[in-house]
């Protein structure tokens, strides 16, 4: 294996080990020693990629959303609904997403305390901004403020679902989140065409 | 001081010490030793009232909402709005409320994982149920499900506000939460009379 490919693989193994340890014990209780042990690589290899637990946390929160690039269809509001359902299903088993939640609620990075939320608010802001151009939003809705509200509410809903059912009922709760918020987001013309359960997502169990 | 009054005062001192320590370091990192030291009472006195950190956490989450009994007016939906604004203002400085948040997001009590949310969902369910009787809710809204959604969303909003501004902007974000959710909760007749900023609450800063 080429040197660079090996480095990429090692970095990924460390990141996933960190996500598992943080997801299991929380960010504050997680130690570099346990992360190094779980990754199965040398201490030197870990510190080559990440100089501290803080650096690992930053990588988790900036990279957790990458596999979930939203689709682009004629309805950006429906794209947003579908996107949040895909993330909900993944949250049940995706170590990076689960660790990202622990980091968001336990930690605030002093120079950018909103970092754990930023990738999500950026994605939703883009979709809401394009929904505005398509005439899908109520005139009173401000896309970036609405995106901040939505991401915050989604965080609360998935924490509640974790407490209620270890996230088994998260798809239903995400549907309920949209049912309760779409009348305050979508224009009357768009509202009738939107499916709060998401398209091409397995029915809520 | 009578023996019973002294016991009540000691119990309260321990509870507030626990809230301060948990609010500062998180639930998992908090230790009984630090709580005992902060309370300024004997170890025996602490364990007389609370047999474990877990018992302290239970007391925090069941007692945090007691000072916030909602008012009862002709509009139970407006009462709910006002109630959430009063809690938002208190969250900036109330040690029990801040500790309650840390416990809710870090801990799940195995026999009742929703315990940290329960007092809040009970209060909001009562108000939404009475709002339904007053004709203030949309027919599609189910009071207890809507209350669970709302409490979950509120938890996310206050966590986001903590990250954004250490809760300085929480009143504005609670107003935004109501602006985005009232159209999916309130009947058209009620909607025009509700003030999402709350009555008799200082203007958001």
Does residue B111 register a pLDDT over 80? no
Mean pLDDT split into 10-residue runs, chain A, 205 residues: 85 95 88 94 94 92 89 95 96 94 83 89 97 96 98 98 95 98 97 92 46
Q: Domains in chain A: how many in total?
A: 2
User: Which comes out higher in pLDDT, residue B18 or A106?
Assistant: B18
The predicted pLDDT at position A1 comes to 62
ipTM of the assembly? 0.92
Does residue B29 register a pLDDT over 90? no
Task: Quote the CA–CA distance of A145 and A143 in Å, as a whole number.
Answer: 6
Chain A, window 173-192: residues with a beta carbon less than 8 angstroms from a chain B beta carbon:
173, 176-177, 179-185
- Two tokens, residue A90: 């993944």
Mean pLDDT score, B94-99: 95
Q: Which of B113, B127, B24 is nearest to B61 (CA)?
A: B113
Residue in B28, B157, B185 closest to A153 by CB: B157
The three-state secondary structure class of B197 is coil
Q: Hey, is the C-beta of A24 within 8 angstroms of any chain B C-beta?
A: no
B71 and B27, same structural domain? no
Q: What is the pLDDT of residues B137-175, one digit of tens each?
A: 999 999 999 999 999 999 999 999 999 999 999 999 999
The three-state secondary structure class of B150 is helix
Q: Residue A155 and residue B151: Cβ atoms within 8 Å?
A: no
Three-class DSSP labels, B21-38: HHHHHCCCCCCHHHHHHH
The predicted pLDDT at position B1 comes to 62
Q: Residue B176 and residue A117: Cβ atoms within 8 Å?
A: no
Inter-residue long-range contacts of A188-196, CB under 8 Å, 24+ positions, other chains counted: A189/A135, A189/A136, A190/A75, A190/A77, A190/A131, A190/A134, A190/A135, A190/A136, A190/A137, A193/A75, A193/A78, A194/A75, A194/A77, A194/A78, A194/A81, A195/A78, A195/A81, A196/A81
The predicted pLDDT at position B139 comes to 95
Identify whether B110 is part of a domain.
yes
B144 and B57, same structural domain? no
Does residue B88 register a pLDDT over 80? yes
- Among the candidates A44, A61, A78, a domain finishes at A61
Mean pLDDT score, B121-142: 97
Domain that holds residue B158: 66-191
The residue of chain A nearest to residue B153, with distances taken between CA atoms, is: A153
- Return the CATH number at A135: 1.10.357.10
A171 and A88, same structural domain? yes
* Chain B residues near residue A187 by CB distance under 8 angstroms: none
A136 and A51, same structural domain? no
Q: Residue B164 and residue A116: Cβ atoms within 8 Å?
A: no
Task: Quote the CA–CA distance of B169 and B171 in Å, as a whole number.
Answer: 6
Three-class DSSP labels, chain A: CCHHHHHHHHHHHHHHHHHHHHHHHCCCCCCHHHHHHHHCCCHHHHHHHCCCHHHHHHHHHHHCCHHHCCCCCCCHHHHHHHHHHHHHHHHCCCHHHHHHHHHHHHCCCCCCCCHHHHHHHHHHHHHHHHHHHCCCECCCCCHHHHHHHHHHHHHHHHHHHHHHHCCCCHHHHHHHHHHHHHHHCECHHHHCCCCCCCCCCCCCC
CA distance from start to end of chain A: 43
B177 and B88, same structural domain? yes
B107 and B160, same structural domain? yes
B2 to B6, B7, B9: CA distances (angstroms): 6, 9, 11
B94 and B28, same structural domain? no
| Beta-carbon count within 10 A of A114 CB | 16
The predicted pLDDT at position A106 comes to 85
The predicted pLDDT at position A191 comes to 95
B114 and B174, same structural domain? yes
Identify whether A200 is part of a domain.
no
B55 and B74, same structural domain? no
Beta bridge partners of A137: A186
- Among the candidates A11, A34, A61, a domain finishes at A61
Task: Quote the CA–CA distance of B190 and B200 in Å, as a whole number.
Answer: 19
Name residue, tokens 């909001």: B124
Residue in A26, A114, A149 closest to B176 by CB: A149
Task: Quote the CA–CA distance of B11 and B47 in Å, as a whole number.
Answer: 10
Please give, rounded to a whole number of angstroms, the shortest distance from the CA of B3 to a CA of chain A.
Answer: 39
- Return the CATH number at B58: 1.10.10.60
A104 and A183, same structural domain? yes
B151 and B181, same structural domain? yes
Contact A143, A132 (CB under 8 A): yes
A150 and A57, same structural domain? no
Widest pairwise Cα distance in chain A:
58
Q: What is the pLDDT of residues B31-85, one digit of tens each?
A: 999 999 999 999 999 999 999 999 999 999 999 998 988 889 999 999 999 999 9
Q: Hey, is the C-beta of B152 within 8 angstroms of any chain A C-beta?
A: yes
Sign of the alpha-carbon dihedral angle for B127, B133, B136, B140: positive
């Amino acid at each position: 294996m080429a040197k660079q490919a090996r480095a990429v693989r090692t970095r990924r193994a460390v990141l996933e080990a960190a996500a598992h340890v943080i997801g299991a014990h929380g960010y504050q209780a997680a130690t570099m020693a346990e992360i190094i042990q779980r990754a199965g690589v040398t201490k030197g290899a870990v510190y080559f990629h990440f100089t501290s637990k803080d650096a690992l946390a930053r990588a988790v929160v900036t990279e957790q959303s990458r596999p979930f690039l939203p689709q682009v269809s004629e309805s950006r509001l429906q794209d947003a609904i579908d996107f949040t359902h895909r993330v909900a299903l993944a949250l049940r088993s995706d170590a990076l997403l689960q660790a990202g939640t622990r980091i968001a609620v336990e930690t605030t990075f002093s120079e950018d305390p909103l970092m754990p939320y930023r990738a999500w608010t950026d994605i939703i802001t883009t979709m809401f901004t394009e929904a505005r151009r398509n005439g899908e939003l109520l005139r009173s809705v401000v896309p970036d403020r609405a995106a901040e509200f939505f991401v915050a509410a989604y965080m609360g809903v998935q924490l509640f679902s974790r407490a209620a059912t270890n996230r088994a009922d998260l798809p239903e709760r995400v549907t309920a989140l949209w049912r309760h918020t779409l009348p305050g987001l979508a224009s009357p013309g768009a509202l009738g065409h939107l499916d709060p359960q998401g398209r091409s997502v397995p029915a809520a169990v």
